[in-house]
């Protein structure tokens, strides 16, 4: 077994954790920011309409955010649900794949926290 100290050990731990994340769908930085913003709303028990989501990322135009929402839907991380009272309103809903993504990230964070 290779004995390591300090920075080398930290790097090897990072490599192991990166391997654990390989099953997570690849996203660009903006998609991750949007999904994390949505997750914060969902964790607070809030429903998020598409129009509201377009205001989540102030560094991006609503058109760019909408494009990324479509991309997240194509990747299977979100879906859109109609409002029961008004079919013009669409809600963003996490899929089972998104819930698995957040669970996997949580496991990785737990692993890191236990190592300290």
List the Cα angle 65/36/79 in 5-degree steps. Answer: 65
Domain ranges of the chain: 26-105
Are 17 and 111 within 8 A, CB to CB? yes
Q: Kindly indicate whether the domain formed by 26-105 is annotated with CATH number 1.10.10.10.
A: yes
Q: Residue range 4-12: average pLDDT?
A: 70
Q: Tell me the per-residue pLDDT of 57-102, one tens digit each, with 9 for 90 and over.
A: 667 888 899 999 999 999 999 999 999 999 899 999 999 999 988 9
C-alpha span between 64 and 23 (Å, rounded): 26
Annotate 89-109 with DSSP letters as a single string: -EEEEE-HHHHHHHHHHHHHH
CB atoms within 10 A of CB 102: 17
pLDDT of residue 116: 55
C-alpha span between 48 and 111 (Å, rounded): 31
Alpha helices in 1-95 (DSSP H): 7-20, 29-43, 50-53, 62-74
pLDDT of residue 1: 45
Among 116, 99, 110, 97, smallest CA distance to 17 is for: 110
pLDDT of residue 4: 53
What rounded mean pLDDT belongs to the chain?
84
- Judged on CB neighbours under 10 Å (0-12, 13-18, 19+), 92 is buried
């Amino acid at each position: 077994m290779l004995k390591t100290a300090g920075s080398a050990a930290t790097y090897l731990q990072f490599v192991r954790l990166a391997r654990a994340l390989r099953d997570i769908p690849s996203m660009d930085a903006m998609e991750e920011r949007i999904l994390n913003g949505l997750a914060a709303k969902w964790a607070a028990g809030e429903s998020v309409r598409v129009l509201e989501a377009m205001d989540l990322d102030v560094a991006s135009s609503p058109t760019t955010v909408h494009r990324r929402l479509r991309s997240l839907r194509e990747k299977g991380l979100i879906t859109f649900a109609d409002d029961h009272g008004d079919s013009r309103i669409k809600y963003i809903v996490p899929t089972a794949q998104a819930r698995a993504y957040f669970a996997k990230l949580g496991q990785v964070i737990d692993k890191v926290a236990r190592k300290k």
